[in-house]
Amino acid sequence: MVLAALLGVAAVGVGAGGAAAADTPGARRAEVIDLKVRNDQYQEVDLGSKGPSLGDTYLYSGIGVKDGRDVASGGGTCQVIRIDGGAQTSQCVLTMELARGSLTMQSLWTSGTTGPLDMAITGGTGDFKAARGTVRFWDIATPNERARMEILR
């Protein structure tokens, strides 16, 4: 599977400009971070019967790059939870470590789908404590992989 790119999910960045929150009490502040993703490690673990089967796991790691500098590192796993014909659906979870803290993300991913992948930000540490939002990945597992984090705090 081409989930190494999900590592791109590892691309949760640092540094970009943030968007201002609405002027309403209790409104959350949004920060947008755009990164290029450089995948560096990928491994498939074939569990159960030989070939595609429930439980097969894909592990990946990578680096988030901003303005030519490495600003984040992280990785995660995707585990096959459903097989329907030739399509495999996996539950993917990853963590990205940044200078200001870490972000965790998760989503379902179905092999063979085209278009971007959106992952939910489910939490974080440091400056990203209690973070929510979405990370969108494009061109997964290619040299052009990139990610945009929309972080709500």
Point out the least confidently predicted range of 24-28, 48-52, 66-70: 24-28
Please say if the pLDDT value at position 16 is more than 60. Answer: no
Cα separation values, 102 from 49, 123, 136, Å: 36, 8, 17
Query: What value does the mean pLDDT take over residues 81-96?
Result: 95
Q: So what's the pLDDT on residue 24?
A: 56
Token readout for 146 is 């990139």
Please say if the pLDDT value at position 20 is more than 80. Answer: no
Strand 87-98 to strand 69-84: parallel, antiparallel, or no bridges (unpaired)?
antiparallel
Instruction: Please write the tens of the pLDDT for every residue from 124-134.
Output: 999 999 999 99
Domain 3-152 indexed as CATH 3.30.390.50: no
In the chain, what are the domain boundaries?
A: 3-152
Q: So what's the pLDDT on residue 153?
A: 83
Which are the contacts of 97, defined by CB distance < 8 A and separation ≥ 6?
A: 72, 73, 74
| Rounded Cα distance, 5 and 127, in Å | 26
Q: So what's the pLDDT on residue 28?
A: 73
Share the mean pLDDT of the chain.
85
